[in-house]
């Protein structure tokens, strides 16, 4: 059995991130609602990928890699944060992005340039095509004596999920006393890490993932959580009711949903906090709708994990 601290981790973010009760929102909804500000984690515009990259890029360094490959949609927050973190570690970054969504020079694509990443678009709907291209490119670099570290979409591997196990440990150190943790689920690694972390560090806490894409996260999330547990040499330890997925997609991934706009405006105007229309706006609105529909019975406090994403506000309008 390995302790989390025995795992190689490179310090990239400013942690702990703030945790506090949303006073005005709690009063309005008649329930204690807390927020964990991982949008304020100190790299670029913040976001959840930084905690994952602390473990992933540590492994890249251990393996002697000088280049990092990753992928995502054109406006990927994960790709932008990988570019930012790779640059800080003196590694080159090549982003193989799907030519889908907002491909103009806006939002995260501006930031990718600032961080010095090389951006290539691939006209495909399938990440398998992109991974095949990564392999081809990796072999080309290897022939030139370089070594690339490949990060899959969202950084959602078992190793990346350790970043959110670590986040829940941080929540316990901050004295969090909540019944539920809610987060957006886009590729699954964040919710998986939160689930495993809750099982270890905040037992009894229930985890709700709000799906903003239509993958089968009921399977993906527990599988990633078990994979992360296995990395640490521990057996999976879940209970049947410690995790649920609720989908709040609207018309589809990365399409702003008109139902979310009033909730996004409300949080901005009452608490000063920005949400994005792709991830956190959907998760926040999905959570409050669930609360209003009786989906969080009892009186236990609810914690919303703010996972970042603000750059999307400069790439697309709210619906």
Ligand X SMILES: *Cc1c(COP(=O)(O)O)cnc(C)c1O
26-55 mask for ligand X (x: CB under 6 A)? ---------------------xx-------
Binding status of residue 75 toward ligand X by CB under 6 A: no
The enclosing H or E element of 58 equals: helix 49-62
User: How many angstroms separate the CA atoms of 272 and 303, rounded?
Assistant: 17
Distance, in Å, from the CA atom of 20 to the CA atom of 185, rounded to the nearest integer, reads 22
Structure tokens at 285: 């609105």
Residues acting as catalytic residues: 76
Sequence-ordered list of residues with C-beta below 8 angstroms from that of 296, at least 6 positions apart, any chain:
31, 179, 180, 290, 302
Smallest gap, in angstroms, from Cβ of residue 252 to ligand X? 15
> Residue 5: exposed, middle, or buried by beta-carbon count in 10 A (0-12, 13-18, 19+)?
exposed
Q: Considering only 115-123, 139-147, 180-188, 263-271, which stretch makes contact with ligand X by CB under 6 A?
A: 180-188
Among 148, 307, 311, 315, binds ligand X (CB under 6 A): 307
What's the rounded Cα separation, in Å, for the pair 193 and 207? Answer: 10
Looking at beta carbons only, is 186 or 286 nearer to ligand X?
Answer: 186
Selected range binding ligand X among 92-100, 142-150, 230-238, 306-314, rule: CB under 6 A: 306-314
Q: Where are the beta strands (DSSP E) in the chain?
A: 19-21, 33-37, 67-72, 92-98, 118-122, 148-150, 180-185, 206-211, 243-247, 302-306
Does 280 help bind ligand X (rule: CB under 6 A)?
yes
Q: Which residue has the tokens 């025995």?
A: 6
Can residue 282 be called a binding residue for ligand X (CB under 6 A)? Answer: no
Asked whether position 257 contacts ligand X by CB under 6 A, the answer is no
Choose, by CB under 6 A, the member of 101, 309, 311, 315 that binds ligand X: 309
Residue closer to ligand X, measured from CB, 23 or 219: 219
Among 77, 82, 166, 208, binds ligand X (CB under 6 A): 77
Shortest Cβ distance from residue 179 to ligand X (Å)?
Answer: 22
Q: Which residues of 217-226 are buried (b: 16+ CB within 10 A; e: fewer)?
A: beebbbebbb
82 binds ligand X (CB under 6 A): no
Site residues for ligand X per CB under 6 A = 47-48, 77-78, 154, 156, 184-191, 279-280, 307-309
């Amino acid at each position: 059995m390995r302790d989390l601290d025995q795992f190689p981790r490179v310090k990239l973010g400013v942690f702990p991130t703030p945790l506090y009760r949303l006073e005005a929102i709690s009063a309005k909804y008649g329930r204690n609602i807390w927020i964990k500000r991982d949008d304020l984690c100190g790299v670029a515009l913040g976001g959840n990928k930084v905690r994952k990259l602390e473990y992933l890029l540590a492994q890249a360094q251990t393996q002697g890699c000088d280049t990092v490959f990753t992928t995502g949609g054109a406006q990927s927050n994960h790709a932008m944060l990988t570019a930012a973190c790779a640059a800080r570690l003196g590694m080159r970054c090549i982003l193989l992005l799907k030519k889908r969504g907002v491909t103009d020079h806006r939002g995260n694509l501006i930031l990718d340039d600032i961080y010095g990443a090389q951006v290539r678009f691939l006209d495909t709907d399938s990440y398998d095509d992109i991974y095949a291209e990564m392999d081809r490119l990796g072999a080309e670099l290897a022939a030139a004596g370089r070594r690339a570290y490949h990060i899959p979409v969202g950084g959602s591997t078992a190793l990346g999920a350790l970043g959110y196990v670590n986040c829940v440990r941080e929540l316990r150190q901050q004295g969090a006393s909540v019944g539920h943790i809610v987060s957006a689920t886009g590729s699954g690694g964040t919710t998986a890490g939160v689930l495993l972390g809750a099982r270890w560090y905040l037992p009894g806490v229930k985890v709700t993932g709000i799906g903003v894409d239509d993958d089968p996260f009921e399977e993906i999330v527990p599988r990633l959580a078990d994979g992360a547990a296995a990395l640490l040499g521990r057996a999976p330890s879940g209970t049947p009711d410690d995790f649920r997925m609720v989908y709040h997609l609207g018309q589809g991934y990365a399409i702003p949903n008109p139902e979310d706009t009033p909730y996004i405006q409300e949080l901005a105007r009452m608490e000063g906090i920005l949400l994005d229309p792709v991830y956190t706006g959907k998760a926040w609105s999905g959570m409050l709708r669930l609360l209003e529909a009786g989906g969080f019975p009892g009186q236990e406090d609810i914690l919303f994990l703010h996972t970042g994403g603000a750059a999307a506000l400069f790439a697309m309008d709210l619906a």
